[in-house]
Amino acid sequence: MYVNLETSNILICDDSITNVAMLKGLLEASGFEDVTAISDSRKVMPLLQEKEYDLLLLDLEMPHFNGFDIIRMVRSQIDDPFFPILMLTGTQGVETRNKALKEGANDFVNKPFDQYEVLLRVKNLLQVRASFNMQKEMKEELERKVTLRTKNLEAAAQDLIDKLAMAGEYRDNQTGLHVKRVSKYARFVAEEYGLPDEVCDMIEKAAPMHDIGKIGISDDILLKPGLLDTDERAMMKKHVELGAILLENHSSLLVQMGRSVAVSHHEKWDGTGYPTGLKGEQIPIEGRIVGLVDVFDALTSKRPYKDAWAWAEAVNYIQENSGTEFDPKLVDIFLGNINKVEDIYNQYREEAQA
């Protein structure tokens, strides 16, 4: 169920009465009907515990409790991992903003406020929350109805994966051919690695979930035509954790595999990846496989921020990063079957790249 943005419940906290009045007036003039504005940071948690809010606009520098204090309290006491926090920052530098993102803020807007930017970021966070709530409700409804762990459960899980993957690709401005290629690449690498047929099948079906967390990343980052700055990269990396949250606690082995892929496909063989810095065989095999083939497909595909690499350049990159970014055994399998890779690429090639 989608949230009506104009009737969303919004809480503003800033010790500046001027800022509070300006933000409240701006939101109400834009059609938001339920806006609560306070200047005392001690009232934030009692209000959040009394009523369900859809968004918190929070100043960073305040007496009593500062923004960092409140973020930590919200994330530890409010049982809603998708509750969005929009930080209101002044002259603080990149390090401070990165700390806010790390503590659990979702986005930030700089003072003095640009009214258009404030509205854009507020609406974007509310839309993301609506999307997460919709997926949560779909998942809960599915779990209530499915009582038998049979083929029907796996069929429903696969359908969920397909729909979520489609939603992720739509947000990322790509066609479904990207996930199709990644799935097919992952399947043949798993087979050549010697994994059992049923595991190969699960990896192929779970591979489309690798970037599902991008549903929670704002369009201005996903579709940015240039390179991301430090703050934007920090936001983008959150897609791994969001994907893990979205797929957690599901009884289906297939969805569990999808969660494993989502959370581990950016780990690197030498331990320099994210989110947890796993190294070598600490990284699940499904994450190692999808991580390799996803990078290769990204290199050979056109994206908003780059043109497609030449085939030879992409092959050289994979070879040069064997043993650092990628599992060397998987690299040997992948490059040792480069004709099969090319067959899959040509079969599911983007029309614009043909």
Catalytic residues: 214
Alpha helices for the chain (secondary structure H): 17-29, 44-50, 67-77, 94-103, 115-145, 151-171, 177-193, 197-206, 219-222, 230-247, 253-264, 285-299, 311-320, 328-336, 338-347
| pLDDT at 198 exceeding the cut of 70 | yes
Domains and CATH numbers, the chain: 9-143 (3.40.50.2300), 173-348 (1.10.3210.10)
Which pTM does this prediction carry? 0.55
At 128-167, the pLDDT tens digits run: 888 888 887 887 777 776 655 556 556 666 666 666 666 5
At 218-260, the pLDDT tens digits run: 777 877 877 888 888 888 888 888 888 888 877 778 888 999 9
Most confident among 116-125, 141-150, 164-173 (mean pLDDT): 116-125
Q: Strands 34-38 and 55-59: what pairing?
A: unpaired
What pLDDT does residue 147 have?
52
- CA 124 – CA 185 distance, rounded (Å): 34
- CA 78 – CA 230 distance, rounded (Å): 28
Higher pLDDT, residue 180 or 190:
190
